[in-house]
Structure 1
Amino acid sequence: MNSRPPRSSEPTSAEASAWADVLVRWRLLHAAVLTPTGQWLVQDHPYGPVRVLLGPADLVALAATIQHHTRTMRPEIR
């Protein structure tokens, strides 16, 4: 597996919003809401607990974790 170089900058609010939209649209999260303070409220399932993420970096890190989990759990197609 190729290793990716580290980020050169912190994720922006726009990048986090785009990832939140994708995660909810693909039903990988039930909800992701940006608060006026810049925190994110995320919920995996409709009646599950709401988690508070401190900012865009945390939401992008969650997206990376979900993406990694999704890619490693599917059967290899070759």
Structure 2
Amino acid sequence: MAYESAFSRYRRTADDKVIPWREANDTAARIGGWRAYARDAQQPDPAASAPAATPAQPATKAMPMPQGHGGHKMP
């Protein structure tokens, strides 16, 4: 057995390179802006493309609901 701390791959926020906001906005515009992110969100996950298991059928049929809100009477 080998021990690996939960913090072994932790990255501090200070480790990220900070870029000026204008450069970040220009980069976002160059790749297509918010539309690029929306397109990515519409793509199916690779796991979702696998055939889904069919749900098990219930053993018994559900009881039909009574008519007229289950016997409640209107005032």
Tell whether the structures are fold-level matches, with TM greater than 0.5: no
Q: TM-score, normalised by structure 1?
A: 0.25
Higher normalized contact order (CA 8 Å, seq sep 6+, divided by chain length): 1
* Structure with the largest fraction of strand: 1
TM-score between both structures, scaled by the size of structure 2: 0.26
Greater Rg by CA? 2
